[in-house]
Structure 1
Amino acid sequence: MTDERPILTSRDGAVGLITINRPTTLNALDVPTLLELERALGELESDDGVHVIVVTGAGERAFVAGGDIADLDSRQGLAHYLDFAEVVHRVFRRFETCDKPTIAAVNGWALGGGTELVLSLDIRIAADTAKFGLPEINLGLFPGAGGTQRILRQIPPCRARELVFTGDQFTAAEAVAWGLVNRAVPKADLMAEAMATAQKIAAKSPLILKLTKRTLRHGAEMPLGASLAYEQAMIGLVLDSQDAHEGCRAFLEKRKAAFTGQ
């Protein structure tokens, strides 16, 4: 893709697609790109016709190869905290807390901020040639866009610490083995696999997807006793929806459910 816009959006039925479109910089993230990414997410999130959001990178080489190193070198602490760090944390958290399921289609290098973005998305499908890593330690930095905190919560802590301390890259196969990525597929099949997964999820009730994602997200941040009580309350809320009863009736009547999001 060679469109001038750093972020492209499109629709395929109930699936929204966000493409990070800076292939000449390996889709590196800077503040303008992050702000456009936030805008694109808001646009798809507010569209009731979109049930699932897929994120990928333009070009053959990278998903997101990280941040702009020259830009980082030009910054001092407080200005960085108030500018880039504030924006990247807000944007990645927006993806994490988005009520719609999100899918990463990792088409190439996902280093630094690229891995950190992947950590913020719900489902991760990678090309078998993709490479991941948190190499910031090699620059005298550490992962500062949520990487140190999210990776500790998603893979064994000893493995997470090794990756952060060494800055070593790792393959898609290793990411799958550690549970960081759902699956790796041939690169030629990546978008078809990601979109097929998205379409499968998009066929479910958008209301129930929203409430389910909230239950998973909030429950993960609670002690078990509190999370079970929260789940109990949320499933009761679900049973007040038309879609829950449509689904049950469709099963009993041996037909496909016609969900309306109500």
Structure 2
Amino acid sequence: DEALTSLEADPAIGAIVLTGDGDRAFGTGSDIKEFPGLLADGTVVSTKLGPENETFTKFANFPKPTVAAIEGYALGGGMELAAGADIIVVAENSKFGVPEINLGAIPGSGGSVRITRRIGIGRASELFLLGDMIDAQQALAWGYANHVKPKGEVLEHAQKLAARLASAPKQAVCAAKQALRYGMYLPEEQAIAKLLDVLDVLSRTQDLHEG
């Protein structure tokens, strides 16, 4: 949360890239060893999932453009977190899934909302109910991923995309992102009304007058 707040406030930051530590995995979700204790005292939501959802939602609603760079596995919370990015770049060898159903649970970090909105209810149902993994090409075909790159080239490509986004008119890029979110989350009439509000604000900015 603090890192996102700092990045949002920094005028020198025009876009961000989210990546994992190394090429083995972007993120594989929760450590299941944590759960027995949390379940025993009834604090799994208040202690873990609540704060985690706050962070994931803050990333999904980050006002500046975001690019996720995925190498290796993106499972459970890893797949849920990346779903909040504007653009997702993945390696050819990447694997994706939400296998919680195999443990008698369901994904609890916003994936039922963000993954579903990204790939549609039918494909999300297959992922969530069967708990199977999909590969990079299937993630691309389903609309989860935007770009598939060879292993080792993902971060560089993501950084190039972020640089392009950061060099574009900042207020216009942020306005476009905001309008897209309204279109995804709101009924049509409300989304269009919000779009006009965004355009009204944008029309008074230096970006549009200089463009």
- TM-score range with shorter-chain normalisation? over 0.9
Tell me whether 63-72 or 219-228 shows the greater mean CA deviation: 219-228
Q: Which has the higher helix share?
A: 2
Of 74, 89, 102, the match for 1:110: 74
Distance 2:2 2:80 in 1: 19
Measure how far apart 1:107 and its partner are: 1.2
Give the aligned partner of residue 194 of structure 1.
158
Give the aligned partner of residue 140 of structure 2.
176
Give the aligned partner of residue 187 of structure 2.
223
Relative contact order, higher structure (CA 8 A, sep 6+):
2
- The answer to whether residue 4 in structure 2 is matched with residue 41 in structure 1 is yes
Name the SS of the counterpart of 1:90 in structure 2: helix
Residues 185-243 of structure 1: per-residue CA shift (max 9 Å, x gap)? 00121111101111111111222222222222233222112211221222121110011
Give the aligned partner of residue 65 of structure 1.
28
Measure how far apart 1:173 and its partner are: 0.7
Name the SS of the counterpart of 1:154 in structure 2: helix
- C-alpha RMSD of the superposition: 1.3
Give the aligned partner of residue 213 of structure 1.
177
Give the aligned partner of residue 80 of structure 1.
44
Distance 2:120 2:177 in 1: 23
Structure 2: which 5+ runs fail to align? none
Distance 1:78 1:234 in 2: 43
Matches within 5 A, 1:117-132: 117-132=81-96
Matches within 5 A, 1:155-170: 155-170=119-134
Residues 118-144 of structure 1: per-residue CA shift (max 9 Å, x gap)? 111111000111110000011111111
> TM-score if structure 1 supplies the norm length?
0.77
- The answer to whether residue 37 in structure 2 is matched with residue 95 in structure 1 is no
Distance 2:155 2:117 in 1: 27
Distance 1:78 1:217 in 2: 34
Give the aligned partner of residue 56 of structure 1.
19
> TM-score if structure 2 supplies the norm length?
0.95
1:70 aligned partner, one-letter code: K
Measure how far apart 1:45 and its partner are: 1.4
Distance 2:42 2:22 in 1: 34
Structure 1: which 5+ runs fail to align? 1-37, 248-262
Identity %: 38
1:60 aligned partner, one-letter code: D
Name the SS of the counterpart of 1:75 in structure 2: helix
Residues 101-129 of structure 1: per-residue CA shift (max 9 Å, x gap)? 11100011100000001111111000111
Q: Which has more radius of gyration?
A: 1
Distance 1:100 1:235 in 2: 17
